[in-house]
Structure 1
């Protein structure tokens, strides 16, 4: 089944549902300690333990329904599994908090490597959605690289120097808001370098 044949709410639900479920579950379980198998676990750890399989399940359903998942979704699922697993296994919340840092550093590193080679790797994955001249893609790629590095640094500051609750709010809403705002701010660039239909 293609994306066009799916109800419009299905894909957003599968992509963002696990994150919202994590947020709601955290609000319900924060500040509470649970004893399992002779060990005490903070609510945040148990929420992480539930989040990992939920994300994998939603990713698998999305792949089953559409026949495809993006490299970004694959990388996210892999890192969530590894860092979420370490968080639960070692009973240490810092690992799942480090995950966004690593994701954004990987994205920034890949885009930066492409720029050093005179290429826009961003264009390879987004050119169908945003038809644009090569010069525009290079500019957008440089901006995305800077934003990803900035988000990695910001995540490090938030989780290291603020409370877990602050980080959860930041992860759920802050990162999304920053990326959305960045995308909206690029409208003049997209308009300036947009390809004509004949092109």
Structure 2
């Protein structure tokens, strides 16, 4: 039996969406967070750069808080949020040091590319990383996990490509909105679209008992 505590799905969504919502708010209204990051920023910054650095700082702090909250609730470090938090701190730190938005904008491309590569390369070697990567409570047969892993691997590359398309063709504000309220809904829609596959390959509780 696993000792991992389960987290309320709504609370889990709040922990995942909260940092993104705060990122968007800080980019739109950087003055609200001037007391936190104002002393760390040079005086006389152009409005766009001030918004970019403030929102990046808010994102860095909030992902750490969300990660700690998740650990307190479950007593386990969730794999994907942990990797994402490390990436946010790394690329956010580079963004602050160089005062260049490119670093934080590249983070989704690189992280999603790494997730997709890890899933598909491991699958090619008959390893299934998806159950751990998604911190999943699903119980699927091996064929189901293989199909789901392949689909998620490709989807991560789609997200990486979309991020690059938006980053290279749109303004910072548009990209910030896409990052905050575009990627997560797309991910939820994709996840829901996998329901038929999951139902087809799900192992019921009675079937699991037969293995023991």
| TM-score between the two structures when normalised by the length of structure 1 | 0.86
Give the structure 2 partner of residue 154 of structure 1: 162
Which residue is 2:152 aligned to?
144
Task: For residues 26-64 of structure 1, give each alpha carbon's deviation from its aligned partner in whole angstroms, at most 9, with x where no partner exists.
Answer: 11139xxx8944562431112212321232133223323
Offset, 1:132: 1.1
Structure 1 residue runs without a partner (length 5+):
none
User: Aligned pair in 2 of structure 1 residues 152, 28: CA closer, same or farther (>3 Å)?
Assistant: same
Deviates more, 1:154-163 or 1:118-127: 118-127
Give SS of 1:179's match.
helix
Change beyond 3 A, Cα 1:26–1:145: same
Distance verdict in 2 for CA 1:176–1:37, change over 3 Å:
closer
d(CA) in 2 for partners of 1:105, 1:24: 27
Tell me what 2:16 maps to.
15
Q: Which residue does 2:100 correspond to in 1? A: 92
Structure 1 SS opposite 2:205 = coil
- Greater relative contact order (Cα < 8 A, sep 6+): 2
When you count strand as a share of all residues, which structure comes out higher?
1
Change (3 A) 1:126 1:20: closer
What is the aligned residue count?
195
Secondary structure of the residue that 1:42 maps to in structure 2? helix
3-state SS, counterpart of residue 182 of structure 2 = helix
The yes-or-no answer on 1:24 pairing with 2:25 is: yes
1:68 to 70, 76, 92: 76
RMSD between aligned alpha carbons? Answer: 2.5
| 1:111/1:120 contact within 8 Å kept | yes
In the superposition, the TM-score normalised over structure 2's length comes to 0.81
Q: 2:79 touches 2:135 (CA, 8 Å); kept in 1?
A: no
- Structure 2 match to 1:53: 61
Structure 2, unmatched stretches of 5+, are 32-37, 208-212
Give the stretch that moved more between structures: 42-51 or 151-160: 42-51
- Of residues 89-98 and 51-60 in structure 1, the stretch that sits farther from structure 2 once superposed is 51-60
> Aligned equivalents of 1:8 and 1:112: distance in 2?
27
